[in-house]
Amino acid sequence: WESRRAGHWDGWGRGYTALRAGLLRRVRAELGRDEGLDVLTMLWDMEKFYDNLNLRRLLALASGLDYPRTVLVISTSYYLCPRMLRGHGCLSAGVCPANSITAGCTHANSMAKAYLYAIVERIHLQHPRFGMGQFVDDLAQQAEGDDPGMCARFGEAASELYGLLQG
């Protein structure tokens, strides 16, 4: 599924690291500056991303991307199981979550990709000049140019992305 759904913005996959994604972004910025262009970069590191994923929205988005149904159903069932705390010989009452992907789930990164795919694709289609990169749940927007209105349009694209991320 991941190889079929790899967007050109996707910096995550076999052999990729967050360091590599950051270095490529930095090289692009340096090349732009060497050409005398202004460079704008916005980094999106979403706090508690996995803890706040809306599972209904995840199901809808992943299903629309032909995510393997069996994996989606089993993983989501696991995410909805009661969660308990254990310590000092005690066990808390279970709490049934409505949101979040369980830490350590082997499918968590793929689920993050499915959750963000349509959002990132929409920004790319509507604002192609403001290239966006993705590394799992970290997003980066970057633009180079000498257009006086670039900063305002970059801000509009960032504002739209923020709205889409809020759901």
Tens digit of each residue's pLDDT (9 = 90 or more) over 94-107: 998 888 888 778 89
Residue 153, pLDDT above cutoff 70: yes
Specify the range with the lowest mean pLDDT, choosing from 72-81, 84-93, 124-133: 124-133
For the segment 50-81, what is each residue's pLDDT rounded down to a tens digit? 888 889 989 999 999 999 999 999 999 989 99
pTM over 0.85: no
Average pLDDT (156-166) is 87
What local confidence, expressed as pLDDT, does residue 84 receive?
92
What local confidence, expressed as pLDDT, does residue 117 receive?
87
Instruction: Indicate the pLDDT class of residue 127, thresholds 50, 70 and 90.
Output: confident
Whole-number percent of the chain with pLDDT over 70? 92
**Phi, psi of 89, deg, nearest 5:** 80, 10
Length of the chain: 167
Q: Is 110 helix (H, G, I), strand (E, B) or coil?
A: helix
Residue 39, pLDDT above cutoff 60: yes
Contact 116, 137 (CB under 8 A): yes
What local confidence, expressed as pLDDT, does residue 104 receive?
79
Contact 25, 41 (CB under 8 A): yes
Instruction: For residue 162, give the H/E element and its range.
Output: helix 150-166
